[in-house]
Amino acid sequence: MAQPKPTYEIATIEGDGIGPEVCRASVSVLERACGTGLLAFQDLPGGADHYVRTGDVLPDETYQACRRADAILHGAAGMPGVTYPDGTEVGNDLHLRLRFRLDLYANVRPIRLYQGDFSPLKSREAGSIDYVIIRENTEGLYASRGGGVVLRGELATDTLVITRRGTERIARFAFDLARKRSGAPRDGRKRVTVCDKANILRSYAFFRSVCDEVHADYPDIEIDYAYVDAITVHMVKRPDFYDVIVAENMFGDIISDLGAATVGGLGIAPSAEIGDDFGLFQGAHGSAPDIAGTDTASPLATILSGAFMLRWIGERHEDPRMLEGAARVERAVETTLAQRKFIPRDLGGTASCTEVTRAVCDNLK
Ligand code: ATP
């Protein structure tokens, strides 16, 4: 466990599209929540626009600064039409490179319903959806990115990779998290649901069996299984059953967008990519080029990701100032939404990004 520091360095990559506006919103809330001097943000270049100008999506100076920092805060990266010759998007490459080089193996996606009517699901009360998706972030089907084969214009393959080490560490991460939480809203049971397709592919059956082995060390946590197709139904029909869900990379990617939709959309869904030594925090959404520059984006996902970052640093350094800062930001978001005066557009309100940010800042008091 590291010692508390007088100041924590935050490497900040605003990126493209709505990235700069939501990132600045988060920085202003975090600075206010923590007071002067505790956080030092370093603004760093990177993203699709930077690639267009320089040919580099992640400059080495940005990467090195990310390695030196206590955490990384990111807006979003990606611009329509900015692709590599193989057709894949340049923007995604920014955090993919950071993900692999910093070994950010756990993608943590909290799914929480703040106000019942934000959910498209019928008769859902605030707090009745409250679970976390743990997406394995470094292997699975996406491990093949850049390594797939297109043969003679006739067939294409990408390979799904599951390793014992990768599965053990993500399963352990999920069970450790379940231990710290207070269980599923429905029954208060601490539960890890393993999401896979073990009935069809050997690789997923192996993923499940390794999760089972890890579970032997956690007799206090219930283990549950769901095939990925079935879980899309359960996440809609009985979302209160879930506490922690652990999934292979691509499945986790897909179900976390569905989870976000059940609590109001991508604009309120935070995300963290965490490894043993580094952590990167950004909203679950992309650069949303359709609304960039219009001051209509919701900053809440990035603000909540920032709170997550404070808590992560606070736990690593046993620093109560950071833990208190995280709690203040989360309470301020909750209060802002409960007041119903400044609700972002994607949640049915009319408030701009600037207005929502100001309301959250005001509620920090
Ligand atoms: P990526 O491929 O990078 O994940 P994407 O194209 O799948 O990105 P987003 O950029 O997240 O998706 O946008 C999907 C939709 O959600 C868009 O219509 C966008 O306007 C909306 N959206 C995303 N983020 C926000 C936000 N913070 N506030 C409001 N709407 C948002």
The answer, yes or no, to whether any atom of ligand 1 lies below 6 A from the CB of 137, is no
Burial letters for 112-150: b for 16+ Cβ neighbours within 10 Å, e otherwise? bbbbeebbebeebebebbbbbbbbbbbbbbbbeeeeeee
pTM for this prediction: 0.96
Torsional sign, CA 110, 269, 19, 145: positive
pLDDT at 52: 97
CA of 160 to the centre of ligand 1 (A): 27
CB atoms inside a 10 Å sphere around CB 294: 13
The answer, yes or no, to whether any atom of ligand 1 lies below 6 A from the CB of 295, is no
The answer, yes or no, to whether any atom of ligand 1 lies below 6 A from the CB of 346, is yes
pLDDT at 365: 77
* Ligand 1 pocket test target in 23, 88, 271, 285 with most atoms within 8 Å of CB: 285
pLDDT at 86: 85
* Ligand 1 atom at minimum distance from 289 CA: 10
Question: Token pair for residue 196?
Answer: 């896979």
Residue nearest to atom 1 of ligand 1 (CA): 286
Residue nearest to atom 31 of ligand 1 (CA): 267
The answer, yes or no, to whether any atom of ligand 1 lies below 6 A from the CB of 297, is yes
Active-site positions read 142, 197, 229, 253, 257
pLDDT at 332: 98
CB atoms inside a 10 Å sphere around CB 275: 17
CA of 235 to the centre of ligand 1 (A): 21
pLDDT at 218: 98
Residue nearest to atom 26 of ligand 1 (CA): 267
The answer, yes or no, to whether any atom of ligand 1 lies below 6 A from the CB of 75, is no
The answer, yes or no, to whether any atom of ligand 1 lies below 6 A from the CB of 352, is no
CA of 5 to the centre of ligand 1 (A): 36
Task: Determine the Cα–Cα distance for residues 248 and 161; give it in Å rounded to an integer.
Answer: 10
pLDDT at 146: 83
The answer, yes or no, to whether any atom of ligand 1 lies below 6 A from the CB of 115, is no
Cα angle 278, 221, 308 (rounded to 5 degrees) comes to 30
* Ligand 1 atom at minimum distance from 76 CA: 3
* Ligand 1 pocket test target in 23, 266, 271, 290 with most atoms within 8 Å of CB: 266
The answer, yes or no, to whether any atom of ligand 1 lies below 6 A from the CB of 21, is no
pLDDT at 36: 84
- SS3 for 332-361 is HHHHHHHHCCCCEHHHCCCECHHHHHHHHH
Residue nearest to atom 20 of ligand 1 (CA): 288
CA of 283 to the centre of ligand 1 (A): 10
* Ligand 1 atom at minimum distance from 287 CA: 10
Task: Determine the Cα–Cα distance for residues 64 and 40; give it in Å rounded to an integer.
Answer: 16
Domains annotated for the chain, with CATH where assigned, are 1-105+275-365 (3.40.718.10), 112-265 (3.40.718.10)
pLDDT at 87: 87
* Ligand 1 atom at minimum distance from 22 CA: 27
The answer, yes or no, to whether any atom of ligand 1 lies below 6 A from the CB of 267, is yes
Averaged pLDDT in 10-residue chunks for the chain of 365 residues: 93 98 98 95 98 97 98 97 92 93 98 97 96 97 90 96 98 98 98 98 98 98 98 98 98 98 97 98 97 97 98 97 98 98 97 98 94
Question: Token pair for residue 228?
Answer: 């990925």
CA of 50 to the centre of ligand 1 (A): 20
Task: Determine the Cα–Cα distance for residues 340 and 90; give it in Å rounded to an integer.
Answer: 38
The answer, yes or no, to whether any atom of ligand 1 lies below 6 A from the CB of 96, is no
Taking alpha carbons only, the member of 155, 149, 15, 159 closest to residue 86 is 149
CA of 292 to the centre of ligand 1 (A): 10
